[in-house]
């Protein structure tokens, strides 16, 4: 039996602008994870067992475009294996789908690691990351690669597209409440809409991306220096720029406003936007009150996580 696990992730600053080569900051979220277990199958072929989505099927019976099939086929193709072994692949994930926690990338990374162990060819992180990025491209159009990178390395990452991975240190732990709107919003759509805006008026949106990039750099310094108080206003400012980019929504704005009214130091949407998650920076004394306020404002669920 071979098993592998990958955490969820949350983007702290810099979404969307990161697609246009500005930096972004993201961290793993270990409370939510994808787990893959591979065992020999008594039946010929590859069998996929994903109880969370009530799926139990032969891989060959799934459409070629199926998300799980693309990862598994992509893995064997990349390894030049034309007749894969008969295996049973069990996939479980506690990461909410299409909400900004990187569920797709986490399943890809866990699958690639478990499959490579099953064929006795464990891959180095860089190869896992490259393969997971190829899969992200199939689903997202023009992904920056931030999701697969943070999830593969499971460390806080200062990410710049096409640059070598750069991790960063956290001077002082800080706590976030992640609020899930419960609205499933495909990243591909918000990224595509930003692309349309940019194509129509690149100079104006480049300025907005520059502003977001500057926030990311200040945030990285503040996090490294343990200057947590400085992060709140930077989150608020980043959220305001996302409103301009049209990637917020009334549901996200409601949760962000409720968090701030309940004493959060700052709050912003996280991920592709339009739905999915927001994050609020809290202190240990008001984390519960902020989580309650976010829920009362309509969040389906909250996760409180400490970044260290
Ligand atoms: O929705 P998520 O968490 O997968 O994040 C998307 C982040 C974007 O910057 C909007 C897109 C990207 O590929 O980086």
- The model's pLDDT over 122-132, given as tens digits with 9 standing for 90+, comes to 999 999 999 99
Quickly count: other Cβ atoms within 10 Å of residue 2's Cβ: 18
Count of Cβ atoms closer than 10 Å to residue 92 Cβ? 16
Tokens of 298: 């309509």
Q: What is the pLDDT of residue 74?
A: 95
Buried b (16+ CB within 10 A) or exposed e, 181-204: bebebebeebbebbbebbeeeeee
Confidence class for position 99, pLDDT limits 50, 70, 90: confident
Query: CA angle, 178 as apex, 162 and 25 as ends, to 5°?
Result: 20
Using most ligand atoms within 8 A of CB, pick from 101, 144, 238, 249 the residue to mutate for ligand 1: 144
At 144 the three-state DSSP class reads: coil
DSSP state of 123: P
Average pLDDT over all residues of the chain: 95
Residue 54 DSSP class: T
- pTM, two decimal places: 0.89
**Pocket test residue of 11, 21, 132, 190 for ligand 1, highest count of atoms within 8 A of CB:** 11
Residue scoring higher pLDDT (11 or 165) = 11
State in Å: Cα 72 to ligand 1 middle. Answer: 23
Active-site position among 66, 125, 130, 147: 147
In short, whether 144's Cβ falls inside 6 Å of ligand 1 is yes
Instruction: Give the per-residue pLDDT at 142.
Output: 78
250 burial class (0-12, 13-18, 19+ CB within 10 angstroms)? exposed
**pLDDT > 80? residue 121:** yes
Query: Percent of the chain beyond pLDDT 70?
Result: 100
Active site residue 147: yes
- 3-class secondary-structure state, position 184: coil
* Percentage, residues of the chain above pLDDT 90: 91
Chain-centre distance for alpha carbon 172 = 23
DSSP code for 30 = E
Query: What is the distance in A from the centroid of ligand 1 to the CA of 186?
Result: 10
Residue 212 Cα to ligand 1 middle (Å): 14
Q: Cα–Cα distance between 131 and 210 in angstroms, integer? A: 30
């Amino acid at each position: 039996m071979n098993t592998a696990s990958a955490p969820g992730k949350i983007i702290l600053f810099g979404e969307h602008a990161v697609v246009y080569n500005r930096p972004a900051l993201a961290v793993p979220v270990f409370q939510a994870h994808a787990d893959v277990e591979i065992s020999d199958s008594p039946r010929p072929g590859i069998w996929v067992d994903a109880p969370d989505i009530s799926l139990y099927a032969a891989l060959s019976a799934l459409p070629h475009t199926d998300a799980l099939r693309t990862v598994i086929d992509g893995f064997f193709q990349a390894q030049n294996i034309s007749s894969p072994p008969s295996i049973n692949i069990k996939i479980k994930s506690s990461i909410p789908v299409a909400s900004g926690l990187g569920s797709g990338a986490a399943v890809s990374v866990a699958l690639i690691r478990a499959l490579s162990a099953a064929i006795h060819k464990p891959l180095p992180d860089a190869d896992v990351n490259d393969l997971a990025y190829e899969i992200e491209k199939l689903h997202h159009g023009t992904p920056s690669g931030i999701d697969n990178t943070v999830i593969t390395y499971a460390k806080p990452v200062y990410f710049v597209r096409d640059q070598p991975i750069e991790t960063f240190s956290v001077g002082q732990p800080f706590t976030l409440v992640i609020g899930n709107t419960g609205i499933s919003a495909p990243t591909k759509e918000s990224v595509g809409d930003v692309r349309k805006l940019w194509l129509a008026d690149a100079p104006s949106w480049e300025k907005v991306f520059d502003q977001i990039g500057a926030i990311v750099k200040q945030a990285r310094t503040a996090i490294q220096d343990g200057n947590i108080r400085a992060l709140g206003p930077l989150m608020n400012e980043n959220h305001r720029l996302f409103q301009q980019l049209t990637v917020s929504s009334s549901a996200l704005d409601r949760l962000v406003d409720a968090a701030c009214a309940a004493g959060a130091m700052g709050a912003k949407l996280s991920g592709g936007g339009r739905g999915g998650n927001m994050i609020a920076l809290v202190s240990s004394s008001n984390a519960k009150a902020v989580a309650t306020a976010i829920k009362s404002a309509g969040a389906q669920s909250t996760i409180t996580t400490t970044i260290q």
